[in-house]
Amino acid sequence: MRRLVDALRVGFREWRTVAVLLWANWLVAGLMVAPSIPRLVAAFGHAPRAVGRPLLSFEQLFGLGPVFVHGGTPSVGAPLLLLVVLQTFLVGGVVWRACSNGPFRLGAFMGQAGRLVGRNARLYLWLLLLLGVAALVPVLLAIPMHVFGLHTVFTTSADGWVFGRPFTVVSVLHLAVVALAFGLWRLSLEVGRVLLFRDDLHTTRRAAWRAVRLVIRAPGAVALYTVLGALATLALLLLARVHAVLPEGSVGLALLALGMGQGVVWARLAFQVAGTRFAAALVESTEVGPPCGMHPAESADPVPTA
């Protein structure tokens, strides 16, 4: 539990790291939305009948069909590809911050990110194999459940979602298994990244395998990491809920909603940093070797030697 609290403390203390991640998030989201802005301004810039109407109304969101009839809808595919590249790049810096107690320097952050980007990409590809294996667990579990007439939230029919109770004890337990399987994969990925950084490994297959072994031998850590993920989801949900109940209808309220939305995303990204810190602490406590923050590879600047 102490490890969890420490991870959260680091996650929310590392505001500069979160700001870098938020910047990337803005870039991707901005590229998604940009094609729509001229159309929205043209359609609603002098539209008294849309003033004061809620977002979920035919004057606004539901009535967008004619606005986008000649294109201009948000773009998703290409910005998400950019996100993949950016995220793969930035995680190196995040690992550095999760391991370091020193001050944040943007140059150092980018230096670590650039140093590790290739290895992090290869590590991710190796660990995609584990994702497939981890996904098999809930899938295989769902088969006998189906035979015995027990539903998961994934096999509940549309009828069941609208008219019945998709969240039963059994389906929630299955969902917990899904969360644990995902937590196992995600923690392995984070641990692998920490190992790459700490031990300056160049053989990513070996790093992946070490990470998986380490995580499998620490089931308590997997459970705690899953709890961290659940906390992140819960926090996000609560903050997003507060955001959703904000009133609408004026420029001030629109700006307030936008600002509050940044709080929601900020919290999500802080949890991401906390997750990496959790993995670093796990490595430090279970692997032989120096604390990751003490390793020469931690520093972006050359360390003077005698």
Partner 1 sequence: MLSPVLISLLVGVTPAPARFDGAGRSIGAPLSERTASYVIEARYDPAERKVTGTARLTWTNRSAIPQSTLWFHAYWNAFKNADSTFAREAIRGGGVRSDTGGYGREDWGWTELRSARLPDGTDLRPTLRWEHPDDDNAADQTVFTLTLPAPVPPHGTVSLDLAWEARAPKLAARTGVEGKYTLFGQWFPKIGVLEVPPQRGVRTPTWNCHQFHARSEFYADFGSYDVALTVPRKMVVGATGVRTGRAENADGTVTHRFHQDDVIDFAWTAWEGAVEVSDVFRSEGLPEVALTVLVPADARASAPQILGAAKATLEHAGRHWLPYPYPHLTLVGPPPGANLLSGGMEYPTFVTSYARTDPVAPVDPVIWEVTIHEVAHNWWQGMVASNEFEEAWLDEGVTTWATTEVFDALGMRWDLAVFLPPGTRWPLGPFVRTSIPEREIRGHPSVPRAWSTIVRPVWLFRTESEEGRAVYGRAAAALWMLEREVGRETFARVMRTYAERWAFHHPSTDDFLNVASEVSGKDLRPLGNALFRGTAGLDDEVTELRCVDVPPGGGTGLHDVDGGTPVFRTAGAHTDAWCEVLVDRNGDLRVPLEVQLTFQDGTRLRHKVPEGDLWARIRTQRPGPGGRVTLAEVHPDATPPVDIDPVNDARTREGTPAPALGLTGWFFYAAQLLAAAVGSLL
Stretch that binds partner 1, among 108-116, 191-199, 257-265, 280-288 (CB under 8 A): 257-265
Q: Which amino acid is at 249?
A: G
Token code pair at residue 244 = 């959703």
Residue placing its CB nearer to partner 1 in the complex, 2 or 49: 49
* Least distance to partner 1, CB of residue 69, Å: 8
Site mask for partner 1 (CB under 8 A), range 200-239, x = bound: -------------------------------------xx-
Cβ atoms within 10 Å of 226's Cβ, excluding its own: 19
Round to whole Å and give the CA distance between 257 and 86.
26
Question: Per CB under 8 A, does 296 bind partner 1?
Answer: no
Round to whole Å and give the CA distance between 229 and 26.
23
Q: ∠ CA 153-154-157 to the nearest 5 degrees?
A: 85
Task: Candidates 87, 110, 235, 299: give the one binding partner 1 (CB under 8 A).
Answer: 87
Question: Per CB under 8 A, does 270 bind partner 1?
Answer: no
Site mask for partner 1 (CB under 8 A), range 40-69, x = bound: xx-xxxxxxxxxxxxxxxxxxxxx-xxx--
Question: Per CB under 8 A, does 241 bind partner 1?
Answer: yes
Token code pair at residue 84 = 């993949």
**Cβ-contact 171, 152 below 8 angstroms:** yes
Residue placing its CB nearer to partner 1 in the complex, 111 or 160: 160
Task: Candidates 257, 290, 295, 299: give the one binding partner 1 (CB under 8 A).
Answer: 257
3-state secondary structure of 46: coil
Question: Per CB under 8 A, does 72 bind partner 1?
Answer: no
Interactions with partner 1, residue window 99-158 (CB under 8 A): 124, 157-158
Nearby residues of 86 by Cβ (< 8 Å), 6 or more positions away: 24, 27, 28
- First and final C-alpha spacing in the chain: 41
Residue placing its CB nearer to partner 1 in the complex, 184 or 284: 184
